[in-house]
Amino acid sequence: MNQHLTVVVVEQNQERAFAIVDALKEAGDVDVSVIGNVSGLARKIATHSPDIVLIDIDNPSRDMLEELTVASGPLERPVAMFVSGAAGGLAKAAVEAGVSAYVVDGLQAERIKPVIDTAIARFQVLRQMRTELAETRRALEERKVIDRAKGLLMKAKGISEDEAYALLRNTAMNQNRRVAEVAEALVTASGLLS
């Protein structure tokens, strides 16, 4: 029996795609292709006729793949979302790691498991990195708004920077909101008044 598995990874970011491809190739005898452009996704996947499709859970184009799970869809072979119950918590683990997998019906769970396990591990790392990046960005954005709010308060009330920050912080505490939210409200309001 042929142990070779064909895997398609749907990922627009090239670096991320390569990281996943490398990991999958180490996991076993797999032939991996990457689809970067998501227009006409279901049709492109049908031409590869893969055993497994992996896609980031946050990718809005994921819904296009659901067509493959409908019997009358463009792909002739039946496709299942995740592995059947036999693989236990694999589906749940995949969702937690941020990967969705579409597996052709009838593939044995033990053949797929190492590939999906590897994908899960890789997606988890990438997801972590992305979350950290997003948080850093947000923190930077918030600091900008807080600085502007501080500036507005210093000018309007003739107080020091420390006093301005204390005022923001106390207001946030009293209103049970975050300092950044209060700052944003202040900046918005002053924009309206000016």
Q: Please, what is the minimum distance in Å from the beta carbon of residue 132 to other proteins?
A: 19
**Positions 43 through 102 that interact with other proteins (CB under 8 A):** 57-67, 69-73, 79-82, 91-92, 95-96, 100, 102
Question: Toward other proteins, which CB reaches closer, 70 or 133?
Answer: 70
Output the CA angle 87-90-96, nearest 5 degrees.
Answer: 170
Among 3-11, 35-43, 121-129, 144-152, the segment contacting other proteins (CB under 8 A): 35-43
Question: Toward other proteins, which CB reaches closer, 69 or 190?
Answer: 69
Phi/psi for 130 (5° steps) reads: -70, -40
**Positions 110 through 149 that interact with other proteins (CB under 8 A):** none
* Count of residues that interact with other proteins, criterion CB under 8 A: 29
Q: How far apart are alpha carbons 60 and 91 in whole angstroms?
A: 19
Q: Please, what is the minimum distance in Å from the beta carbon of residue 178 to other proteins?
A: 13
Q: How far apart are alpha carbons 160 and 134 in whole angstroms?
A: 31
Q: Please, what is the minimum distance in Å from the beta carbon of residue 190 to other proteins?
A: 19
Q: Binding residue for other proteins (CB under 8 A) from 2, 39, 176, 194?
A: 39
Q: Binding residues for other proteins, per CB under 8 A?
A: 39-40, 42, 57-67, 69-73, 79-82, 91-92, 95-96, 100, 102
